[in-house]
Every structure is written in C-alpha cells, then in structure tokens.
C-alpha cells in the first residue's frame, strides 16, 4: 500500500516527460533547438509534478533532496575521468579498425589557449544545461525507483527510461544522431544510455548531488563531441556504428564500466549489507518479539 504514491509519482513523471518530448520532436523536427528544449523537459516535468502530484508540505523537501547545495566532493573525480576513458576506447577502436583517421591538426600557442578556454566554458555552461536533465532522471526518478526495487536494478531501469526518452528525437526529428539507419541507431542508443545510467546512478548514490551527475553527463557529451571532431571518416554511417552514442565500441566501453560498478561499487555493497542486516533484524523481531512490559 505504501508504494502507491511512489508509483503514481513515477507514472505521472514518465507520462508528462514523454508527452512533452514527442510534442517537441513533432513540432520542430528539423530545428536544432529541439535538442536544447528536450534537455529542459525533465526539470520542467519535475516542476509540474511539484504543483500537481507532490503534496504541498513536501514540495520544499523535494527540491532540497536534489543536493543543489552540494559540490559532489570526491565523486567529481570519476565524473570527469570516466568519460575520457570511454572516449579513448570508442574512438580508439574506430581508428584501429580503419573506420576513421585522426584529423591533421597544426597546434599553435594561441590556438591551444583558445581551445582550452572553449573547453572550460563548454564544461561549465554545458553542465548548467544538463542539470535540466539530471534533476529529472537521477534527482527525481532514480530515488523513487529505489523505493520499489534494489539500487542496481533501479539504476538500470532509470537508465532505460532515460534512453527511451531519446527516441522521439531519433525517430521523429532529424537533428539527433542523424547518421546511420534508424532501426540500428535507435536500439543502440537506448542500450548505451541504459548502461550509462549505472555510472550516473553510482555518482548520485555516492554524492547525493545532481551537480555531480550533470558534470559527468556533460563531460561525456563534450568528450564525444571532441572525438567526432578529432577524426574523419569516409563513411559517417560506419563511424556511427562504431563510435559515438550509437557505436558498438561505445556500447562495449560503457558496458565494461557499468559491469565494474555493478560488481564493485562500495556504495551499493554497503547498502546490500545494511539491507541484509535490516531483514535479519526484522525476522528476529517476528520470531522472538521483545516482551511487553505491563503496568501494575
């Protein structure tokens, strides 16, 4: 019975978010602004939930729970380094297999300095944009999924819903992951984002700050944008099937990272131990209840 409000909050969030995503992709199929608008849909949906589904007395607590006043601490290290590892594995595979070659670049001090400044700006401003997604996915949806099932399964389910959210842009619009056959790209993107959800969920459970997840999410987007500009391919479709968000090498790299975190993440192993302890304690209480003192 206690799960009913949580299920209602999840169902309402998913229904509104997907309706808005379909509306944006349908109304603006060829305008690149559809990607920017889609980024803000999860946060907008949370705002709608705040004034419709969430009880009045819990609304401030909802927004405090997103950890917007927390920096993320040591969790920022993997948030910034893991996307770089994924980039090297995915586009390294594209170069090694002959699908792409590195672009010839002539570096100058001024050009390098300008590139570094642009990268810093992209990491900063991009994180603010991606916050619009992560307030919805890991800030709102993931904790509610965790109330219904285990933390690892909740990570995968949230990632899967996050992946499905991209389908309107992929199947209806023409601006997102445009290279490659739709029947290959669509399921590949959903699968990759589903497993990426494990890494993002780990960062959330470790830091309880959406900032940390937004930094990682934007770092991944930035890294793969840099990868796409650092190589040249004779056939863009072939590159899409190897690297990028729909690439097989990308999926393999993300799957490797997800497997490591699913098996080794301390935050989830500690939670498992706590859950076992609580279960054993509850069983003992049922089998050997404490005597009730009587008043004479």
DSSP assignment of 237-266 equals HHHHHHSSTT-HHHHHHHHHHHHHHHHH-H
Going from the C-alpha of 91 to that of each of 51, 97, 118, 253, the distances in angstroms are: 44, 10, 21, 11
Q: Is the pLDDT of residue 34 over 60?
A: yes
pLDDT digit string, tens, across residues 101-112: 988 777 788 777
CA-based max dimension of the chain: 92
- Taking the C-alpha atoms of residue 62 and residue 34, their distance in angstroms, rounded to an integer, is 28
Q: Is the pLDDT of residue 240 over 90?
A: yes
Q: What is the mean pLDDT of residues 50-65?
A: 95
- Determine which of 98-107, 128-137, 220-229 has the lowest per-residue pLDDT on average: 98-107
- Taking the C-alpha atoms of residue 267 and residue 271, their distance in angstroms, rounded to an integer, is 6
Among residues 189, 199, 135, 137, which one has the least CA distance to residue 163? 189
Q: What is the pLDDT of residue 280?
A: 35
Q: What is the pLDDT of residue 104?
A: 78
pLDDT digit string, tens, across residues 175-188: 999 999 999 999 99
**Percent of the chain beyond pLDDT 70?**
91
pLDDT category at 272 given cuts 50, 70, 90 is low
Does residue 231 or residue 104 have the better pLDDT?
231
- What is the pTM for the complete model shown? 0.89
Q: What is the pLDDT of residue 296?
A: 41
User: Angle 151-164/182-207 helices, nearest 10 degrees?
Assistant: 140
Q: What is the mean pLDDT of residues 202-231?
A: 95
Residues forming beta bridges with residue 233, ordered by sequence position: 100
Does residue 108 or residue 36 have the better pLDDT?
36
pLDDT category at 289 given cuts 50, 70, 90 is very low
Q: What is the mean pLDDT of residues 113-130?
A: 87
Helix, strand, or coil here: 102? strand
Residue 131 neighbours by CB under 8 Å, 6+ apart: 43, 210, 211, 214
């Amino acid at each position: 019975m206690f799960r009913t409000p949580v299920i209602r909050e999840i169902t309402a969030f998913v229904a509104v978010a997907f309706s808005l995503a379909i509306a944006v992709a349908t109304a603006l199929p060829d305008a690149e602004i559809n990607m920017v608008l889609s980024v803000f849909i999860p946060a907008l949906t949370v705002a709608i939930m705040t004034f419709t589904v969430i009880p009045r007395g819990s609304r401030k607590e909802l927004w405090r729970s997103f950890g917007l006043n927390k920096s993320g601490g040591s969790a920022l290290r993997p948030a910034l380094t893991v996307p770089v590892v994924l980039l090297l594995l995915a586009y390294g595979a594209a170069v090694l297999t002959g699908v792409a070659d590195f672009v010839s670049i002539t570096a100058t001090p001024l050009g390098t300095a300008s590139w570094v400044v642009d990268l810093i700006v992209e990491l900063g401003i991009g994180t603010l944009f991606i916050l619009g997604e992560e307030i919805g996915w890991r800030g709102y949806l993931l904790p509610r999924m965790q109330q219904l099932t285990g933390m690892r399964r909740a990570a995968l389910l949230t990632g899967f819903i996050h992946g499905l959210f991209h389908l309107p842009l992929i199947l209806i619009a023409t601006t997102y992951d445009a290279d490659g056959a739709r029947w290959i790209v669509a399921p590949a993107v959903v699968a990759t984002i589903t497993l990426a959800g494990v890494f993002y969920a780990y960062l959330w459970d470790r830091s309880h700050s959406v900032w940390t997840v937004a930094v990682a999410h934007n770092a991944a987007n930035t890294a793969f944008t840099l990868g796409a500009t650092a190589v040249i391919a004779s056939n863009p479709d072939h590159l899409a099937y190897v690297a990028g968000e729909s690439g097989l090498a990308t999926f393999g790299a993300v799957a490797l990272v997800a497997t490591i975190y699913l098996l080794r993440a301390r935050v989830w192993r500690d939670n498992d131990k706590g859950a076992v302890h609580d279960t054993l304690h509850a069983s003992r209480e049922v089998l050997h209840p404490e005597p009730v003192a009587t008043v004479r």
